[in-house]
Structure 1
Amino acid sequence: MAGHSHGQGNDDKNSASKGYEIRDVKTGALAKWLLVLAAVIIGTYALTVGLFRFFSAQEAAKDASAGVTTPAFGPAPADADLKWPEPRIQKAPADDMARLRAEQVRRHSRFGDTIFMLEPDLKNGPGGIRDLCVGRWATQVRFGTSEPSKLRDMGELSSRQAEAMDAARDWFLRVRCALHLAAGRRQEQLRFDLQESIAPLFHLHAPPIESRPGVASAVEALMHEFQRHARTVSRETERLLLRVCHSRNHKPTVRVLRPNKGGKADTVFNLADGAIEVKDPLIFDEKPSEMLRLFALSIEIDRPVGRRTADLVAEHAMTATEALRKDAEAARLFLQILLDTRDARTPSRLEQMHDLGLLSALIPEWEPLVGRVQHDLYHVYTVDQHSLYAVATLKAIARGEMAADYPQVSAEFPSVTRRTALFLGLLLHDVGKSLGSRHDQKGARLAAGIATRLGLIPADVRLVEFLVREHLFMSHTSQRRDLEDVSLLEHFARACENEEKLRQLFLLTFCDLASTGPKTMTHWKSELLAELFERTLKFMRRGADLLHAERVELVAERQKQVRTLLASEVDDATLIDLFAGLPERYFTENEAERIARHMRLVLSRKSVCATEVTHSPRGSYSELVLVANDVPGLLARVAGVFYANRIDILDAAVYSLEAQDGRGRDEAVDVFRIRKEPDGAVTDENRIARIQADLEAVLAGKVTVEAVVARRPSTPSLVDRAKPTVPPTEVRVDNEISPAFTVLDIFTEDRPGVLFAITRTLAEHGLDIHRSRVGVAGDRVADIFYVRDIATGSKITDPTRLNGLVKALKDALPTSSSQRKSHH
């Protein structure tokens, strides 16, 4: 593309001048945007650049970064495509290079310091247009040209790098024009709603997303292209800046490399200024596996790979796929690097290999994951980067770096005996993401083929296949099911088969959750995951009968402990009477000290309700215990009060204390794990007092819950701004997983009042909620309810009633964000 610019300067000027002329005619605005649309769709370089200049010249002139000056050229141009004098080599002024660097750092800190932004800034963000300009300004000062084609001819860029830089520049200019068109004004941030508006203009072909029908696949294809080009700009600009600062007269200090102290000198690599460099580049053609040995060596001696050698690897990797796939030594070295927990650098050697294209060359099935974006708020990182972060997390666990925060996963890693399968399964767990729905099943087949090709033994191939196929199973089970249910534990244990597979799935699931986004792993999720692991492990070792016997013993032991704790406060007969009215699971789910506190609350209640609030040791959530009359719709009213006070419910354990011997009305002892929006324990005493007062008023009938909800303060939040289109509400009914309850899985858009709407609907349909678990994944919630018919105490099995319930739930929940007017 760079070659076109010299012969079309007049065309560019004409484009701009015509733009000024159409401002004064009635159809000017329409004509202007039609020209932009033509440039975007057709992709004509001269037209795109001409219009880009017209629409952005004035604002670029005001940009602070355009004020970088050099002695040779004065103010640095802000435009991304200007003519420069003929190439000449000169020294780059150090203060100008420092100024460019400082501006880049400041800009990145303001607009995001990573390309992994859900709504990136095309102009100012990392890997964007301004970074492109920084590289061009620097090379103009140092080499007398900013044109990639001329830098290629001078030997400062390879053909691949020059073509990639030109393609990135062309793409950014076209998308920026489309962005301005869609917004109707200057707009640099590629917001979710604008992504959906402009994606169809580019005719990007992508298979439909069957698992998320509300999401346009073209949007993910568009953002995939952004990631690809932003990576190019970020990587190549950094290399150009290093070249600019590198003196041609510098003679590196070269040392013989001896991997083993006192051993033979390495015949392929040496050390130049402390970095590993290849002696003869032709070795990568003759023996491609040396590219992998390079990174294994880098870990072994803890030295970086040199810039020149890294560039050579990137060039050779493009043509080495067939040779690498058939090379057993390359496979062995790759697995060695994958499993080497000493690789603690940032970025890791595995990430560096990926960045240079070596991972895709060795595993072609990896390439469709590169830069792959998911159009939601949950998956912050691209699929490839998420998978690499997951491996880095596992290595950190292996080194003991996470023991303080997550002792359970750290304690289990040493017991893993088949680590090759674990590391490879983790790297490939999302390899099916490019294949549409059921990516776990499709990915398992791909992963098995890759594992076989890499030379794993059949047993490890099967284990890799299992891990990829079931990589969602443990997180879904731990967050959406009643972990006290023995039938659930039996089902999960049967799926895992043995302790090794259970342990590996536990570690893989943790690393998967921890690397989806910066805040996706919470202590609440890790506790649930560890609880499922421990309970299933116990089930495997002891069996259902022994577990049941132990359960009976546990109930008796805890009742005995509570009687001891309360001996001086409550007579034994009263406690025995209370114990008889509580379900067995209450005693297995709560320790003796907590039960004692609950009993004090029951006996001290003087009004319509009594509450107690405590906080988790880490301060990640609070626990509110409510004792009140057990009446239909109680949970809906409580949910409404929490919603009105901007409180999220993480989990609700609902227990009925049945009256004994005419003692009075049945009571509810409900335990809620809650947090303030958006996270953290509810420690504000005034806020707690408001919640307690609202509960008293609503449960006493002094005010309706609807009135309390109506006074919820309205303040701007993520909900009030543009969000990705969310798939329609989905309601699943499961009458198999629990022997006593119908389980409802409800997936819907995360909007204020969702839980209140659900619980109110369930109450209106005569359902008693036994257990509720709430999960949020970005812009969607997964609310799980164990319910039964209030009248019969049984599951809901009538198809007509179930269909009516599903319809009522969908009607009660908010419509997709695609049907709401977006905020500009």
Structure 2
Amino acid sequence: MSTVLEHEPVAPRLSLREEFIAAREAVGSALPEDPRGGALLHRFGERIVERITPACALAVGRAGSRFGKLAIVVFGGLARGEHCPYSDIDLTVLCTEPGQEGDEAFGEWIREFTHPLWDAGLRLRTTVQHPEGWLEAAAEDLSSCTALLDMRFLAGDRQLYDEVGDEAHRRFFGPQRASFLQRLLDEQGLRERRFGTTVYQVEPDLKFGPGGTRDISVFEWALMARRSRAEPWDPAKVESAIRASGVPRRVARLLTEARDTILRLRAALHLVAGRTQDRLNFQYQEGVPELLGRVRPGEPLSADHRELVEAIEACMQDYYQAARDIQRHGGRVVARCQPPRIRADIDQRIDERFHALDGRLRHYGKGRFAESPVLCLEALALARDHNLGLSGPTFDVIVEAVMAIPAGDERLANDPEAQARFVDLLIDPADVGSPTPLELCHEVGLLQRLVPEFAASRGRMQHEGLHVYTVDQHSLYAVEFLKSIARGDHRKDFPMATAVHLSVDDPRPLYMATLLHDAGKPFGDQCAEGARIAGLAAQRARLDEDAVTRCAFLVEQHQTMPMLSQKRDLTDELQIREFAELVGDRRTLDELYLVSLADMANVSPEYLTSWKLTLLDELYLRTAAEFASSRRRETTARRPREDEPEGLPLRYYSLFDQDLRREHRQLLDRLRESPQRRVLIDVAEGSGALRLTVVTPDHRGLLAVLTSCMAERGLEVMAADVFSVPFYPRIALDVFRVVPRDTGATLAALGANGRPSSEWVVQLERALVDALVHAPGAEALAEPMPPLPGRRRSKTRRRSTKVRFSQDPGGSRTIVDVETFANAGVAARISRSFAALDLDIEIARINTEMGRVDAVFYVSKLDDEQRDALAKSIRANLRTRRG
């Protein structure tokens, strides 16, 4: 009799590469349902460790005793249980005698150990450390020190690992941790200088940005350094570890939840990108909601993709809340991990409610803030006046008091004392620090209680691609910029603004309008709704009727000066007169100029160029002159000197300084004296671009030929100002700001002294001459150009070409505004459309920045048929290939 044993089929064992792919897929599958990002990545990390440990043990076995004592350890995110799907794996081979049999043998052993892991798709950062060398390096190098703190044993000599860990703890951690903690804080300060101090960025860095995973690591390292060597770090018990530091239970819970949110979001970012990725750029924001379960896979979207936009907004709101909690409370954990001080600090009494201890404002008693929320504003003012930070407990009671105010309760908004204290914070130029008292007022939720309509701006994204901050942070930075102007911090960079601010007698309407200039964005019509909100806020703040009206006007018109200065002919007296009539008086002009400047200066670090500032200043000066005496036009007109070009419009003499005007005159004279020369150029290094001046006989279609040649030579036109000297023969004087499209071209263009090389200038001049000789004829110009290269299609941020027409105040010229995405040769393609219709361009202004082109052209008055033909030609020349 025999027994037949039936066995279930055994699943084939996955290869190492397949195992890691499956582990990543498991993370993606769990993300929509599991909000605990920390636990999710801990499981993922354990799976990775489980698979690489046998390879480490095998490698140790192969080494035997050839290299002395040897241990393989892992540190970083994998050791702390925070390893993201595509993060690097930090391995260290701890070895006492790596050179015993020669470097070649040891190097071969390392390759045999690591290459299979690389082949399996892991990104390894492998280092070799001698025990004492690692300890010595840790005294100077913070990354070496943190690696000693969070390292985790994988294989090899456990005693060697323990000895190094024990010695590191004796030297740097435990009772000796004060120096290490200070190094962490110093490094954090360096990161803040590089990545900023606000979490409210529209494309945040989830690792190094404020409130990112590196800030999580900082408070975790502080907790590890505080513990004894016998207490290993347990990623599954982060909340209890935080609570053990002494912070309140609520803070421990908030930090744990925030850590989960950031880690979950970073895991989703890795999976969307398919690689290591730290910055949450717009292109990746569109894929994150589906992975997090906020958009159903394959679900059809409406034409305007509103569902996706709302899902992105929700994900970003989760990020801002979590990053803010980490930034707000992580420092409190680090402070609680400091060793006890030998000397007690002096307790300084301020009044019956507050005292100062250890450089921080503390409060007496409990319950007062909830009973009287105005006390929260008083605490912020006292901290400012006494140059103190807020203590953790005082910060907590302020937050709790604000949170206790029921939704829709406007007691603070309608409280005269609260409004008076708020306005004091708003306009005080001594409002400095990081965060400033006004930012702190917003951080704890007070600002939205004082101005309820501002709540919708909190953490609100700006999708147009120019802004790098959310609506609320951009507005706060604009106010901060005005205060720095008031203090004279920018008297060299912004002398006009500094002088204008000195003449402001009542700063309240100015600062209220600056704070609320974008408050209408969440409600549809940005300017109209913003004006309504600003008027309400000014009334609550008990401003007089004239100040309320002015505050609303400043918000309603805050985009007018930037638009006019960059897109209109500032020498058109009717245009200036019309703007002056809109503004009404000099005081309002001063305020509108300052609001406009503060707005432009805080769109992004690169947005406010010297060119834009010059134009804004010119519009201000010309309008101020309009408000001046009856002889204003005679006294402000700029007349050419004998050594400057003659017959050019007034805007030419406003745009260029005296030295440049002299250089232009020399180029014009040289061309007249040498009729055989077709082109003369001058190239100089400018601010972030090359300044290219072209002098050549003028004819229709010239701008199209010049810009097309530049595009072929790898030069991207960032801005252009074109002029025609009217005397016979007419000579074109065109000034371009161009940027080489690649680093190689930049190096070729610039010589050792930072100026363009003479050889490169000669080559460019020859290319321009050749382009003029072979300029396309009328038939060729009428044919649409080949499509531009296709761009990655974005569901939420597609930019179509827009062509708008208007007329100047005199009614004699048509103004053509073109907005499109940046691409190689865009300026040439737009200019070609004018040449195809035989239209003579009087004024051209082309501005390229941050992926967008804004071009403005003045031409003789066009009828409807000509407008339609021109718009059709421009769109045809700017079409892109599909796919």
Question: By the TM > 0.5 criterion, same fold?
Answer: yes
Does residue 16 of structure 2 align to residue 41 of structure 1? no
Does residue 492 of structure 2 align to residue 404 of structure 1? yes
**Superimposed CA distance per residue, residues 49-95 of structure 1 (whole angstroms, 9 cap, x where no aligned partner):** 56543677677243489976799x873799xxxxxxxxxx9868335
- Give 1:327's match in structure 2, choosing from 415, 418, 423: 415
Calculate the TM-score normalised by the size of structure 1. 0.77
Alignment match, 2:130: none
**Is the alpha carbon distance of 1:210 and 1:310 closer, same or farther for their aligned partners in structure 2, counting shifts above 3 Å?**
farther
Alignment match, 2:335: 242
CA positional deviation for 1:403: 1.3
- Give 1:233's match in structure 2, choosing from 326, 333, 339: 326
CA positional deviation for 1:443: 1.7
Query: Identity over aligned residues, as a percent?
Result: 29
Alignment match, 2:169: none
**Is the alpha carbon distance of 1:720 and 1:218 closer, same or farther for their aligned partners in structure 2, counting shifts above 3 Å?**
closer
Does residue 510 of structure 2 align to residue 422 of structure 1? yes
Calculate the TM-score normalised by the size of structure 2. 0.73
Q: Contact conserved, 2:671 with 2:677, CA < 8 A, in 1?
A: no
**How far apart are the structure 1 equivalents of 2:33 and 2:690?**
57
Alignment match, 1:75: 151
For 1:562-711, what aligned pairs fall within 5 Å after superposition? 562=642, 594=662, 596-597=665-666, 600-611=669-680, 613=682, 624-643=692-711, 644-655=713-724, 657=726, 659=728, 666-677=729-740, 683-686=755-758, 687-701=760-774
Alignment match, 1:453: 540
**Is the alpha carbon distance of 1:162 and 1:305 closer, same or farther for their aligned partners in structure 2, counting shifts above 3 Å?**
closer
Alignment match, 1:298: 383
**Is the alpha carbon distance of 1:214 and 1:672 closer, same or farther for their aligned partners in structure 2, counting shifts above 3 Å?**
farther
**How far apart are the structure 1 equivalents of 2:337 and 2:384?**
28
Alignment match, 1:175: 265
**How far apart are the structure 2 equivalents of 1:669 and 1:214?**
52
**How far apart are the structure 2 equivalents of 1:469 and 1:211?**
27
**How far apart are the structure 2 equivalents of 1:25 and 1:675?**
51
**Superimposed CA distance per residue, residues 173-214 of structure 1 (whole angstroms, 9 cap, x where no aligned partner):** 332343343334554443432222223444659xx9999999
**How far apart are the structure 2 equivalents of 1:406 and 1:447?**
26
**How far apart are the structure 1 equivalents of 2:253 and 2:32?**
21
3-state SS of paired residue (2:389): coil
Alignment match, 2:862: 796
- Give 2:353's match in structure 1, choosing from 249, 268, 276: 268
Alignment match, 2:549: 462
1:739 maps to a residue whose letter is G
CA positional deviation for 1:776: 3.3
Q: Contact conserved, 1:729 with 1:747, CA < 8 A, in 2?
A: yes
Alignment match, 1:500: 587
1:640 maps to a residue whose letter is S
**How far apart are the structure 2 equivalents of 1:492 and 1:638?**
34
Alignment match, 1:482: 569
Q: Contact conserved, 1:22 with 1:32, CA < 8 A, in 2?
A: no
**Superimposed CA distance per residue, residues 307-343 of structure 1 (whole angstroms, 9 cap, x where no aligned partner):** 4323332232222464422321111011111111122
**How far apart are the structure 1 equivalents of 2:302 and 2:362?**
44
**Is the alpha carbon distance of 1:256 and 1:523 closer, same or farther for their aligned partners in structure 2, counting shifts above 3 Å?**
same
**How far apart are the structure 2 equivalents of 1:535 and 1:168?**
52
Q: Contact conserved, 1:601 with 1:627, CA < 8 A, in 2?
A: no
**Superimposed CA distance per residue, residues 422-469 of structure 1 (whole angstroms, 9 cap, x where no aligned partner):** 011101111122234x32222221222222222222222211111111
Higher Cα Rg: structure 1 or 2? Answer: 2
**How far apart are the structure 2 equivalents of 1:26 and 1:674?**
51
**Superimposed CA distance per residue, residues 612-656 of structure 1 (whole angstroms, 9 cap, x where no aligned partner):** 53769x856665543323222100111123332425342313225
Q: Contact conserved, 1:70 with 1:93, CA < 8 A, in 2?
A: no
CA positional deviation for 1:491: 2.2
**Superimposed CA distance per residue, residues 552-583 of structure 1 (whole angstroms, 9 cap, x where no aligned partner):** xx58x64xx43xx59xxxxxxxx9xx86xx77
**Is the alpha carbon distance of 1:249 and 1:362 closer, same or farther for their aligned partners in structure 2, counting shifts above 3 Å?**
farther
3-state SS of paired residue (1:674): strand
Alignment match, 1:340: 428
**Superimposed CA distance per residue, residues 132-183 of structure 1 (whole angstroms, 9 cap, x where no aligned partner):** 2332342355378885654786693445534432332332333234334333
CA positional deviation for 1:503: 0.8
**Superimposed CA distance per residue, residues 16-46 of structure 1 (whole angstroms, 9 cap, x where no aligned partner):** xxxx999569998997666444422223549
**How far apart are the structure 2 equivalents of 1:389 and 1:634?**
43
3-state SS of paired residue (1:411): helix
**Superimposed CA distance per residue, residues 673-704 of structure 1 (whole angstroms, 9 cap, x where no aligned partner):** 42445899993133433332222222233999
Structure 1 segments unaligned to the other structure (5+ residues):
1-19, 79-88, 258-265, 567-574, 660-665, 708-718, 789-794
Does residue 132 of structure 2 align to residue 60 of structure 1? no
CA positional deviation for 1:347: 3.1
3-state SS of paired residue (1:245): coil
3-state SS of paired residue (2:31): helix
**How far apart are the structure 1 equivalents of 2:518 and 2:420?**
22
3-state SS of paired residue (2:459): coil
**Is the alpha carbon distance of 1:126 and 1:276 closer, same or farther for their aligned partners in structure 2, counting shifts above 3 Å?**
closer
Structure 1 window deviating more from structure 2 (325-334 vs 297-306): it is: 297-306
2:78 maps to a residue whose letter is A
CA positional deviation for 1:247: 3.0
**Is the alpha carbon distance of 1:501 and 1:587 closer, same or farther for their aligned partners in structure 2, counting shifts above 3 Å?**
closer
**How far apart are the structure 2 equivalents of 1:214 and 1:482?**
42
Alignment match, 2:836: 764
Alignment match, 1:11: none
**How far apart are the structure 2 equivalents of 1:76 and 1:28?**
22
3-state SS of paired residue (1:627): strand
1:129 maps to a residue whose letter is T
Alignment match, 1:570: none
Q: Contact conserved, 2:570 with 2:576, CA < 8 A, in 1?
A: yes
**How far apart are the structure 1 equivalents of 2:651 and 2:194?**
52
3-state SS of paired residue (1:325): coil
3-state SS of paired residue (1:771): strand
**Superimposed CA distance per residue, residues 215-262 of structure 1 (whole angstroms, 9 cap, x where no aligned partner):** 9454344334323322222222122111211638874311233xxxxx
**How far apart are the structure 2 equivalents of 1:180 and 1:586?**
51
1:42 maps to a residue whose letter is E
Q: Contact conserved, 1:731 with 1:746, CA < 8 A, in 2?
A: yes
Q: Contact conserved, 1:611 with 1:627, CA < 8 A, in 2?
A: yes
- Give 1:93's match in structure 2, choosing from 177, 182, 188: 177
Alignment match, 2:347: 254
Q: In angstroms, what is the RMSD of aligned CA positions?
A: 4.4
**Is the alpha carbon distance of 1:502 and 1:212 closer, same or farther for their aligned partners in structure 2, counting shifts above 3 Å?**
farther
Q: Contact conserved, 1:608 with 1:700, CA < 8 A, in 2?
A: no
3-state SS of paired residue (1:193): helix
For 1:423-442, what aligned pairs fall within 5 Å after superposition? 423-436=511-524, 438-442=525-529
Alignment match, 1:10: none
The count of corresponding residues between Structure 1 and Structure 2 is 731
**Is the alpha carbon distance of 1:589 and 1:380 closer, same or farther for their aligned partners in structure 2, counting shifts above 3 Å?**
closer
CA positional deviation for 1:528: 0.5
**How far apart are the structure 1 equivalents of 2:589 and 2:837?**
39
**Is the alpha carbon distance of 1:36 and 1:782 closer, same or farther for their aligned partners in structure 2, counting shifts above 3 Å?**
same
Q: Contact conserved, 1:314 with 1:357, CA < 8 A, in 2?
A: yes
Alignment match, 2:450: 362
Alignment match, 1:261: none
